[in-house]
């Protein structure tokens, strides 16, 4: 009995210790949450400090409790596009704000359409008579697209401006697959449906290269036009073709200055002094400080106004079956949001904001069907395309009464593919064979141990063909385009927004605001008075806390020197491609998805390249 009593006391002690540890963890998280929450009362006269560390996204991913509790580092911070635009445009008319300090030193990027929208907001600040002063150690395409809309562009004397244009390499896995002995069975429709090529080829096919070249040329033309209009004094075309300049013994920063790409060379202290000359500085502040308000505090004091009449549902990221958190479009999740909103009968119109390269055909159709339910109740359904609305994203968009896009939107990719890997050659290398019995031609099919048979191949290919016929058929019906014409412009080809408008895949150029105005007109409302209600699931307190911590860890940020940033951005692009390839392999056997569509990086910035690759290949 004495022994049992001791064991009992030990168990009670362990229980008490666990309870105490849990309570300490809870109060530590609560304290951290309260201390890191934006302060809506902390608005003071001076500058608005907008530090865009990380990326700009249509719908940021929510950090999970596992990220906070079990990961020592934070993922890249994602800034919601509409929040960034709202903060900047509000500051334009706020008499307390004397200038906007735009810190792009840790900015990784965002879609071209999104960045042009932020640039338009910065233009409003300048038109109000307030300066926008940008700073970075180094500018790449995305960060310079924003900086071009500033009144002054500051560059660190040890930095550089690196304009590469869209394009580059992507990994092809055919050689690795052959070495491993894996047989990749591909079922596809559409000669431009290049998504499966990384698994079947060691290089890009002529058809895919032709389509991709046309796409990147169009996107870069739109980029050049936007930057040139925002900064006409820059010798842009000359600098892009010869960033080294013509005078020897000049630094990269000096070449950028002489070419009119930047206005001032100076470090962060000099930049802060320039802003302090406009916004002021308290006598007790350090030399790199100035009076003003942080972006997060300003957003807390000026949240995006809530609306009621026009509902906006966001389809962002990969389209997947079932439920999914923000930043990924779960077919069940998005469909439920739409059906619930329709059932409440409060909305007068619905706007669908699409920023997705596609994914599951089943999930895409489920979302489309929910939009058809909305249309049966006489709700106008207007589609607004963001950076990407391709393949499954276009499948959903086809249900709209009117489709808005931007010239730099990536859309189309009307095609279907399927991938089934089998491992008979891999097993044979290790002396492993497989055998068994069957009752029908489909017993055990698709057989990953011995390979698929002709009946299974025909069945899967016929399924891919059927989905393609359904895809082209619904495009023909919804867009009122003859099916033969749809067949010509489909084939899995990706189009820029300008070309898509010419061939009838979209109706008009316009932003999300234009789509909301169109929805208001169709609902017989005054476009100037309506305010949209965003039909997102509201985050809980833990998710809000996690969002505040994203990117707050210094270790999660990109290195500050421009050359290291340049290399690491390319490493992030490669790692993103590896993640994308992995998600394809793990996704549905049949998908409507676009390979040529860029994805916003969502990986940890502090992970080394090899660490990411090893993690994906395990």
Catalytic positions, please? 193, 391
Kind and range of the H or E element at 386? strand 381-390
Q: Name the token pair of 448.
A: 């990953």
Whose structure tokens read 């479009």? 329
Range list of β-strands (E), 394-509: 402-405, 410-412, 416-422, 494-496, 508-509
CA separation (Å) from 330 to 318, 333, 366?
8, 5, 10
Query: Is the bond leading into 446 cis (omega within 30 degrees of zero)?
Result: yes
Q: Count of CB atoms within 10 A of residue 11's CB? A: 10
Contacts 24+ apart (CB under 8 A), 250-257: 251/157, 251/158, 252/159, 252/160, 252/161, 253/155, 253/156, 253/157, 253/158, 253/159, 253/160, 253/161, 256/155, 256/160, 256/161, 257/155
Burial of 522 by CB count in 10 Å (0-12 exposed, 13-18 middle, 19+ buried)? middle
Label residues 178-196 b or e (16+ Cβ within 10 Å = b). Answer: eeeebbbbbbbbbebbbbb
- Least Cα distance to 103 among 143, 76, 63, 68 occurs for 143
Residue 438 C-beta-side C-alpha neighbours within 13 Å: 10
Phi first, then psi: what are they for 515, rounded to 5°?
-65, -40
Q: Pairing between strand 54-57 and 381-390?
A: unpaired
Residue 567: φ, ψ to 5°: -65, -45
CB 99 within 8 A of CB 131: yes
Which residues have CB under 8 Å from 14's CB, separation 6+? none
What is the DSSP pairing of strand 292-294 with strand 46-51?
Answer: parallel
Instruction: Classify the C-alpha dihedral 471-475-477-483 as positive or negative.
Output: negative
Going by DSSP bridges, is the β-strand pair 349-356/381-390 parallel, antiparallel, or unpaired? Answer: parallel
Supply the DSSP symbol for 439: S
User: Are the C-beta atoms of residues 125 and 132 closer than 8 Å to each other?
Assistant: yes
The tokens for 198 are 């990384």
Q: Which of 453, 613, 611, 605 is nearest to 77 (CA)?
A: 605
Instruction: Determine the Cα–Cα distance for residues 467 and 295; give it in Å rounded to an integer.
Output: 46
């Amino acid at each position: 009995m004495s022994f049992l009593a001791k064991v009992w006391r030990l168990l009670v002690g362990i229980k008490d210790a666990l309870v105490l540890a849990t309570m300490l963890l809870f109060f530590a998280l609560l304290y951290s949450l309260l201390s890191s929450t934006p302060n809506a009362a902390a608005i003071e006269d001076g500058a608005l400090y907008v530090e865009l560390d990380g990326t700009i996204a249509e719908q940021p991913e929510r950090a999970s409790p596992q990220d906070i509790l079990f990961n020592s580092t934070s993922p890249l911070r994602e800034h919601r596009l509409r929040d960034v635009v709202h903060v900047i445009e509000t500051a334009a008319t706020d008499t307390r704000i004397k200038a906007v300090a735009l810190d792009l030193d840790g900015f990784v990027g965002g879609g071209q359409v999104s960045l042009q929208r932020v640039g338009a907001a910065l233009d409003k600040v300048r038109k109000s008579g307030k300066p926008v002063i940008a700073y970075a150690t180094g500018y790449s395409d995305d960060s310079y697209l924003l900086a071009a809309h500033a009144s002054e562009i500051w560059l660190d004397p040890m930095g550089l401006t690196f304009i590469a244009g869209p394009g580059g390499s992507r990994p092809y896995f055919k050689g690795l697959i052959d070495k491993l002995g894996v047989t990749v069975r591909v079922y596809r429709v559409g000669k431009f449906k290049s998504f499966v090529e990384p698994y079947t080829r060691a290089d890009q096919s002529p058809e895919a290269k032709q389509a991709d070249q046309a796409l990147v040329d169009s996107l870069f033309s739109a980029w050049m036009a936007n930057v040139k209009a925002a900064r006409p004094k820059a010798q842009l075309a000359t600098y892009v073709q010869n960033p080294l300049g013509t005078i020897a013994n000049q630094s990269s920063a000096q070449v950028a200055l002489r070419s009119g790409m930047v206005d001032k060379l100076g470090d962060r202290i000099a930049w802060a002094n320039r802003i302090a000359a406009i916004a002021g500085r308290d006598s007790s502040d350090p030399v790199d400080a100035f009076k003003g308000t942080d972006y997060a505090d300003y957003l807390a004091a000026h949240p995006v106004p809530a609306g009621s009449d026009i509902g906006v549902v966001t389809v962002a990221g990969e389209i997947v079956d079932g439920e999914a958190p923000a930043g990924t479009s779960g077919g069940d999740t998005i469909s439920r949001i739409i059906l619930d909103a329709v059932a409440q009968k409060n909305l007068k119109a619905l706007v669908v904001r699409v920023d997705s390269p596609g994914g599951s055909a089943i999930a895409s159709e489920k979302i489309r069907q929910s939009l058809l339910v909305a249309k049966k109740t006489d709700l106008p359904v207007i589609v607004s395309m963001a950076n990407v609305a391709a393949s499954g994203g276009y499948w959903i968009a086809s249900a709209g009464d009117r489709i808005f896009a931007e010239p730099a939107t990536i859309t189309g990719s009307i095609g279907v593919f399927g991938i089934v890997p089998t491992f008979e050659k891999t097993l044979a290398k290790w002396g492993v064979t497989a055998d068994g019995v069957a009752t029908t031609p489909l017993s055990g099919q698709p057989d990953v141990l011995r390979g698929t048979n002709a009946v299974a191949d025909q069945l899967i290919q016929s399924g891919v063909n059927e989905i393609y016929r359904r895809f082209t058929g619904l495009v023909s019906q919804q867009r009122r385009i003859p099916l033969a014409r749809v067949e010509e412009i489909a084939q899995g080809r990706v189009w820029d927004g300008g070309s898509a408008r010419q061939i009838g895949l979209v109706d008009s150029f316009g932003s999300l605001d234009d789509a909301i105005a169109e929805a208001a007109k169709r609902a017989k409302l005054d476009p100037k008075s309506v305010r949209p209600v965003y039909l997102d699931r509201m985050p809980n307190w833990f998710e809000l806390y996690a969002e505040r911590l994203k990117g707050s860890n210094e270790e999660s940020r990109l290195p500050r020197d421009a050359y290291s940033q340049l290399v690491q951005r390319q490493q992030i692009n490669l790692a993103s491609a590896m993640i994308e390839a992995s998600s394809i392999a793990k996704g549905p056997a049949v998908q409507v998805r676009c390979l040529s569509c860029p994805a916003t990086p969502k990986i940890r910035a502090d992970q080394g390249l090899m660490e990411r690759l090893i993690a994906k290949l395990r």
